Structure 1
Amino acid sequence: MAFEVPVIDISAYTAGGSAAERATVARQVDEAARTVGFMQIRGHGIAAPTLDEFACALDEFFALAPEVKHRYRTPPTANRGYSPPQSESLSLSLGVASATRMNDYFEAFNIGNTAADFPGLDLPPIDYAENVWPAELPAFQDRVSAYYREAARVAHTMTTVFAAALDLPDGYFDRFIDHPLEVMRMNNYALPPGAVELDGELKGMGEHTDYGIVTVLWADQVPGLQVLGADRRWHDVQPADDALLINLGDLMARWTNERWLSTLHRVMPPIVDGAITRRRSAAFFLDGNAEAVIETLPSCVGTGSRYAPITVGEHIRTKLAGSRAGQPNTNAPREAARVLAANEP
């Protein structure tokens, strides 16, 4: 069977639809989650001007001089601010021993929700870190925040669809995401002439699974993103017109006992007409409440659970210690095995 990322119209959930129309969407999502782990969604309801303003803000930040961008670096544990090229290795979030070199050439800027967004709750500042905003771009915060709110809405809508697709009660996931860890990572894949020497190991972003519940991805229609199929081969994926890419994270794989997989993906140097070209993307990660315990859903246990219970915060911190601090993750043997199998001749 040919590899394909299905396109699903979710307007029955975003713009009002009948019970039958919603049930159709839920079946389509379940099929995509079981077979690919990625899907493209239309009918998400994000207005074109919001996306255009967001893209302009992203361009303006990454056009700043390197020394300016470096002012907005934060400690690896904060998962906020600027990450320069070759400062991370996403494969280490899976503990893959061969991926010990910091070879991912993308640069990124991260924002997320903070403890101050949830007054009255005593939330750990290491998980709900403060944002940093570039003073050189006074409109940046408003433009980026406008898209952030829309991406968050879409992500939360997808959890409503997930509950229906998994035959769970309406609102089942709400108690796990009422003060969630959320991060949006804006990525820039570009190689200024002479800045980086290309070799066989260079990747835009190394193979990895996403960490949380669901990812909402906006991306250019430029080659680079590759998804690992059931055939253990890497397949190119580009978003369709007006579509956002949706994929599942490790916590959803744990919840569903791998009925739904957090699919491995990577970004290769985007080559168009024999030359490396620029590629942009923005991934919104809905990870869940830091203290929430993730354990196999009763309907997915089957003959036994593949995963021990873990809190969202513990899981995310372990993954970040790999990708951003260079400490190989020892808590992802199943995902690491898939990476190594994909790399076998």
Structure 2
Amino acid sequence: MDLAEIPVLSLVDDRAVLPARIGESFRTFGFAMIRDHGIDLALIDRAWALTRELFDLPEDTKRRYFVPGQGGARGYTPFRTEVAKGATEKDLKEFWHVGRDLPAGSPLAASMPPNVWPEEVPGFRETFTELYAQFDAAGARILSAIAVDLGLQADWFDPAIEDGNSVLRLLHYPPVSEGAGGAIRAGAHEDINLITLLLGAQEAGLELLSKEGRWLSVAPPEGALVVNIGDMLQRLTNHVLPSTTHRVRNPSGARAGHSRYSMPFFLHLRSDFRFATLPQCISETQPDRYPESITADDYLQERLREIGLKA
């Protein structure tokens, strides 16, 4: 398996050159790698420990935190529930979602339910509330660089993501059994949201599909974030910034007997944000692909139905 030669960028690089470097990486791969992201490493270590503790809970205990009809928006989603768009086999994973705590009386409450917290894991709420906030801040800084690269003001995304419907997903891929059939840990897919910030997984397996149609392995250095473009940003930029297909393949040999954990932060727009293609991403040779208007929440609900999380 060839390695994707994605440059590792620093979020504290000279602000005069960082936007162009991030933009080039996204245009080439749909992915970037970011170090110096400002997320506390000790907090990350606590989060990994609590993630393992969470998924080690008995199955019936975890299922008490499954909320039917919410599309997995908060709490627990059981093993083999989600399916990649267009796939027939459900993914070999279980996950837990932490979302934004909205202020009382927020008009967005109808689309963003309250969090669910596992009583059996001490310190879980405090740790992941803080980690969510730090991911949120790092994502806003990355979006600021993207905005400058697109010819926008550095703060262009700030109102679009204020109280956004972002989700921190704790993922567990159990050991792969011989009875998995054609299923893999995560089928080939594109993310729904604006950008995804992923803390490196302990086990290999993340791959992206190159423009030439080859699967390339993604291997971030320790402590770096993998960041990829989601379909919402692809839509907003009229495909100037591409949402790249990726997957998590099954391990082979002895590694098949090991769990894999990862922690993506799906940075979303406000639920009431209304898409309008950026004018600077439209030209005679690149006409607007999305002249119709749709809100971010309408788009999200449509995609959740496509991946089996909503009926």
| TM-score range normalised by the length of the shorter chain | over 0.9
Once the two structures are TM-superposed, the CA of residue 119 in structure 1 deviates from its matched residue by: 3.6
Q: Which runs of structure 1 show a deviation greater than 4 angstroms over 4 or more consecutive aligned residues?
A: none
Once the two structures are TM-superposed, the CA of residue 255 in structure 1 deviates from its matched residue by: 1.2
**Which of 162, 165, 168 lines up with 1:181 in the alignment?**
165
Unaligned runs of 5+ in 2: none
Distance 2:274 2:80 in 1: 33
Counterparts in 2 of 1:219 and 1:156: CA distance versus 1, 3 Å: same
Q: Which residue in 2 is equivalent to 1:88?
A: 82
**Which of 56, 61, 85 lines up with 1:68 in the alignment?**
61
Distance 1:118 1:10 in 2: 30
Distance 1:198 1:121 in 2: 44
Once the two structures are TM-superposed, the CA of residue 63 in structure 1 deviates from its matched residue by: 0.8
Q: Which residue in 2 is equivalent to 1:305?
A: 288
Distance 2:278 2:272 in 1: 17
Once the two structures are TM-superposed, the CA of residue 59 in structure 1 deviates from its matched residue by: 0.9
1:186-240 superposed Cα distances (whole Å, 9 cap, x missing partner): 1011127x6x7132x2110111111111111112242111111111121111221
Once the two structures are TM-superposed, the CA of residue 280 in structure 1 deviates from its matched residue by: 0.8
Once the two structures are TM-superposed, the CA of residue 166 in structure 1 deviates from its matched residue by: 0.8
Once the two structures are TM-superposed, the CA of residue 170 in structure 1 deviates from its matched residue by: 2.5
* RMSD between aligned residues: 1.9
What secondary structure is seen at the aligned counterpart in 1 of 2:302?
A: helix
Distance 2:228 2:117 in 1: 28
Q: Which residue in 2 is equivalent to 1:333?
A: none
Equivalent pair of 1:270/1:278 in contact (CA under 8 Å): no
Equivalent pair of 1:212/1:285 in contact (CA under 8 Å): yes
**Which of 249, 265, 289 lines up with 1:268 in the alignment?**
249
Q: Does 1:9 align with 2:10?
A: yes
Residues 118-267 of structure 1 aligned to structure 2 (within 5 Å): 118-125=103-110, 127-191=111-175, 197-199=179-181, 201-267=182-248
Counterparts in 2 of 1:176 and 1:169: CA distance versus 1, 3 Å: same
Q: Does 1:53 align with 2:46?
A: yes
Residues paired across the two proteins, number? 306
Once the two structures are TM-superposed, the CA of residue 120 in structure 1 deviates from its matched residue by: 4.5
User: Match of 1:37, as an amino acid?
Assistant: G
Equivalent pair of 1:223/1:271 in contact (CA under 8 Å): no
Once the two structures are TM-superposed, the CA of residue 124 in structure 1 deviates from its matched residue by: 4.3
Distance 1:106 1:226 in 2: 16
Q: TM-score, normalised by structure 2?
A: 0.93
What secondary structure is seen at the aligned counterpart in 1 of 2:243?
A: coil
1:122-146 superposed Cα distances (whole Å, 9 cap, x missing partner): 2242x21111111111311111222
Distance 2:240 2:100 in 1: 30
Distance 1:221 1:271 in 2: 15
User: Match of 1:212, as an amino acid?
Assistant: N
Distance 2:219 2:25 in 1: 16
**Which of 88, 92, 113 lines up with 1:105 in the alignment?**
92
Q: TM-score, normalised by structure 1?
A: 0.84
Distance 1:172 1:37 in 2: 21
Distance 1:149 1:111 in 2: 11
Counterparts in 2 of 1:272 and 1:2: CA distance versus 1, 3 Å: closer
Equivalent pair of 1:9/1:41 in contact (CA under 8 Å): yes
1:277-313 superposed Cα distances (whole Å, 9 cap, x missing partner): 2211111111111111112101001121112332110
Q: Which residue in 2 is equivalent to 1:292?
A: 273
Counterparts in 2 of 1:44 and 1:325: CA distance versus 1, 3 Å: closer
1:138-167 superposed Cα distances (whole Å, 9 cap, x missing partner): 311111222111111111111111111111
Once the two structures are TM-superposed, the CA of residue 274 in structure 1 deviates from its matched residue by: 5.7
User: Match of 1:100, as an amino acid?
Assistant: T
Equivalent pair of 2:31/2:229 in contact (CA under 8 Å): yes
Equivalent pair of 2:175/2:256 in contact (CA under 8 Å): no
Once the two structures are TM-superposed, the CA of residue 326 in structure 1 deviates from its matched residue by: 6.4
Distance 2:96 2:30 in 1: 25
Counterparts in 2 of 1:273 and 1:138: CA distance versus 1, 3 Å: closer
Once the two structures are TM-superposed, the CA of residue 169 in structure 1 deviates from its matched residue by: 1.4
Equivalent pair of 1:203/1:269 in contact (CA under 8 Å): yes
